[in-house]
Chain A
Amino acid sequence: MTTDKQYLLSDADVAKFIVTGYHMVQLDLPSGLNESIAQQLDTLDYNPGDAITDVVPELNQVLEHPATTGVLKSLLGHDYIVQSHRHWHCKQPNSGHMQWHQDSVNRRDTSINRFLGLFYPTDITPDMGPTVIVPGTQFRNAPTDRMATYTNIRGQVPIVVKAGTIAFTHYDLWHGTAANRSEVKRHMIKFLFGRNSPNTAPTWNHDPEALNAPRDWNKKDKAEDANNILTFANPIGVSQSDHYKERQIRRQCWNELMGQTA
């Protein structure tokens, strides 16, 4: 399936994903689709696990939307994989927060090889127990137990979004949830995506001049071009030592996505 170029990411988008570990898109789904999905989830009385897309087939339209496929092709290549694993996360009213964690074991991937798609069929407000992510933590090799003494972290981002939003998050990004103090269920469908083969060339809307912008010491992390984003962005204000390590990993990621293997 071809994807209209308008849905592919820009160089700056790709650089921001490498730096922050997330990218959000509000999909323009057909009228009534979000409401229909939410209504079915509201009344579902068991968790079908991977079969959630069989039980609520409209969810396939999220996976097939050109803005979704545009992100997947841009970051995982034209032959990206939609894994069979998916899960409905229903956060019940008056349920507590969930502590920070990285999924799976403490062995991190410093490439862009797999990430999650978190789809929200309703508006998500701060009191509904939104997912909360910590930008830039996806390259940290940190056992979840070591996060047990953290609560709020400067620069954390609650995924407070409009209905129909899908948040693409690097698999290793630190994440948790706030408590749901509202009277409604908070629905999120998690999808898992992977890379099938290494890039041999950029798969997004790449401008060959992208990395030629001079370093802008005045804008620094406010700059909007790929070169300065990769160089200066420091979303949670980590130390100079960590920031220099991040820069190296970012450049390695960028080069891999460009098809320039070391």
Chain B
Amino acid sequence: MSQTDPSTQPRQRLLYLHARTPSVFSDILGYTPIEPIKGFRPEITATEQDWPYNTIHDAIIDGWQIVQFPHLQAPFDDRDLDVVGYEFILQKMEVVSQ
């Protein structure tokens, strides 16, 4: 069996995007990229946020695919507040250099 260098194969990049509403056109409130690189960890930063996308739709245009839509089946409560925004998980299969 031949050994294949994983860095030459497409690997799964992930984006956790928290949108203002369940619409793909609403603004993004939270941005978390996950790169398929050993040791990679996204970090909370103290610098100005500069995100490449303003909406989920922007990311789709750039080739990202939604692999999980926000869960909306939670019990409805019009008084309590829980997490911030609605979570979309997106992926892009690409060759990513280490």
Contact = CB atoms under 8 A, between A and B. Distances in A.
Interface of A: 96-100, 126-127, 129-130, 132, 134, 137, 139-142, 146-147, 149-156, 158, 160, 174, 176-179, 236-239, 241-242, 245-246, 248-249
A141 B82 contact: yes
A238 B44 contact: no
A139 B81 contact: yes
A185 B33 CA distance: 29
Given A150-B18, A239-B21, A246 B81 contact: yes
Contacts of A239: 20-21, 26, 85
Those 6 A-B pairs whose CB atoms lie nearest each other, nearest first: A158-B46, A126-B46, A151-B32, A178-B46, A151-B42, A97-B43
Nearest to A106: B82
Given A150-B18, A237-B29, A245 B78 contact: yes
Majority secondary structure of chain B interface residues (helix, strand, loop or mixed): loop
B45 interface: yes
Given A149-B16, A152-B30, A140 B44 contact: no
A130 B83 CA distance: 23
B82 A150 contact: no
Contacts of A140: 81-84
A152 B49 contact: yes
Contacts of A141: 80-82
Q: How many of chain B's residues touch chain A, expressed as a range?
A: 20 to 34
29 contacts: A97-B45, A126-B45, A127-B46, A130-B46, A134-B84, A137-B84, A141-B82, A147-B83, A149-B87, A150-B16, A150-B32, A151-B16, A151-B32, A151-B44, A152-B30, A152-B31, A152-B49, A153-B18, A154-B49, A155-B29, A158-B45, A160-B46, A178-B44, A236-B84, A239-B21, A239-B85, A241-B78, A245-B80, A245-B81
B47 interface: yes
Contacts of B44: 97-100, 132, 151-152, 156, 176-178
A141 B27 CA distance: 22
B81 A151 contact: no
Contacts of A100: 44
Interface string B25-63: 011111110000000011111110101000000000000
A150 B82 CA distance: 14
Contacts of B82: 140-142, 146
A238 B84 contact: yes
Contacts of A238: 20, 29, 84-85
